[in-house]
Every structure is written in C-alpha cells, then in structure tokens.
Structure 1
C-alpha cells in the first residue's frame, strides 16, 4: 500500500493503518531497533510503541516521508530503552560504541534543559551533512542514525572497514569543528 494511503487511514482513524504500517515497515523498524538493543523482545516492544506513537502523531501530523518518520520514532524509543537498561553500567555493545564515538562532538543530553537546544543541534548536524559528499553522508547516516555496524556498512557499500573507520574518524573531527563554529560544542 502506498504511504499516502496509509497516512489517510491514520487520518480516518482506521485501525487498519497499524497493520498496513507493520506490513510495509515492520521489518525495517525491527532491524533498526534490534541493531540498537540487540534483544528481540525489547526490539518488538519498541516497534509496538512506534505504532502507538504513530497513531497518536497522525493526525495532527502528516509526515512527508513515512519511512523516515517511523525510523526516527523507533530509533529514539530504542535508544531511550537502551539508556534506561544501561543507566547503572556501561555496556560494550554497538549502541554504546556509537554513543562513545559521538560523545566528543555533541553536547551531553543529560540535562533536559531545553528542547530548542536539541533542535538547534539537529539543524546544525543537518547543515554539516549538506557539506559532505554523497558517500560520506551515506556512511554517517547509516552509522549514526541507523546504527549499522562498521563491518556491515563496509560490506553494503563495498568498501573496506578501514576506509569506513577512517572516514568516520575524519567526519567526527569535522563535525566537532562545525559545531564549535556554530557555538554548540565547547
């Protein structure tokens, strides 16, 4: 079913919207969540929560790109679940590696002082991504937004793991400089 028809089902408050969303985007959302949580049950819970969040968001919202909308919700829910489960200890999984890699570039989110600050940071990162070539942007987004492991990322893009790691290292340094210029990172 086309995205606009699925969105129309949400607007009409038809429960079929959820089953159609799951049919079209379920495996996509499960893979994002599983990469972050590495736990099937927790991932399934986050996907189900994603459907609930989507039901509550549409209407009034009307996403232009449904896959990205769903991906962002499931990613954020999964990261929150990961952080809640690892609040007392630092794990050694892929998600912790992602957070550690970006920790030096992006201001800490420990205080919930202001959502505006988070939006400014997101806008600055988007401006940074616009400065990258297509391959670098793809590597950055797949690694830090979709939580794709370096080995898998390299295989999917037919490049070496070393190249992926060095590009990520250079991009993090450039991101840090970009955020410092914009007054976001110290």
Structure 2
C-alpha cells in the first residue's frame, strides 16, 4: 500500500517512508513559502533549504505528536512547525552573521569597525527590547528586524494599526530615555541611539 491523501497521516505515524515522500511532494511549496517569508531577509538562500530539510525531519520525528483529524489540521500543524523553525534559524543568523570569502579578501579597517559598531548597536537594541512587554517586543522585532509594515504587524497580531503605531511610539520613547547614555565599543555616547 502506498501513501495517498486519505492515509498519509496514519502511515506517517507508523513511520512509513512513503508517507514522508508524499508529504514532501504535496507540501514542499507551502513549507518553503512559510520559511522564505521569514528567512529571505537574511539573504542566505542555503539557509532556507537547510531549514526546509530540518522541518521535514521534525515532521518525521514528531509525527506521533500530531493530534489532528484531517489534512487541513495536518497542514496547519506543519505550517506552525515551519514558522517556528524559520524563526529559530532567523535568530541564529542574526546572532552569528555568516562571513563570506569576499568579506575576508577585501578587509577595510573602516568597514570592519563600522560592522562591529553596527552589530554592537543591534545587540544593545535587543537588550533594550527585552525590557518591553511581550506584545511590544513582538511588534519591535517584526517592524525593525523582520521588516514588516504596520498593516502586516496589525494583521499578524490581530490589533489595529493605530495601536501598533502607539506601542511603537511608546516603546521608542522608553528606549530613547534608556539610551541617553550607553557605551559601544569602549566609546561613550550621549543622546540618541
């Protein structure tokens, strides 16, 4: 017996490899789309493929945890897995930017110094964001790290754009107050981030 749309869930939960083949054939574009939406901003195409493989491995390893009844429930479940894996990969990529051979071949002390300051500022900003309430943290990350616009954030968080705008304003005001004096790269800065 081969996996099809009627039996692939049960066969997957029984560790039948043909079920995984069916899932890859049927759901690859969906999973890749979910992952790409998060990871395209990293500019690492190979990271998307690596994450896709990791998602299918997770589906295989955790098939017994699926509690849905039909293909629609399964689709929602795998989309959640893909989304959270992509977010994990994004966080790793942001924390540890990939150094390419081009970066090593043309080192410029100003470019290296500027990049270090940019990374330290980003790290400092992340520390400030951690002090915000969870909803405001999500809004800041979606807006300034993932590049979402106000309408996309409002839709994702089921809020109005004006409340998103207000939270951004209040958060920036709080961050500005906290950043009156901070150090980056051993140098003290007064004023704005």
Q: TM-score, normalised by structure 1?
A: 0.49
Greater strand fraction, Structure 1 or Structure 2: 2
Please say which structure displays the higher CA radius of gyration.
2
Higher relative contact order (CA 8 A, sep 6+): 1
Q: TM-score, normalised by structure 2?
A: 0.48
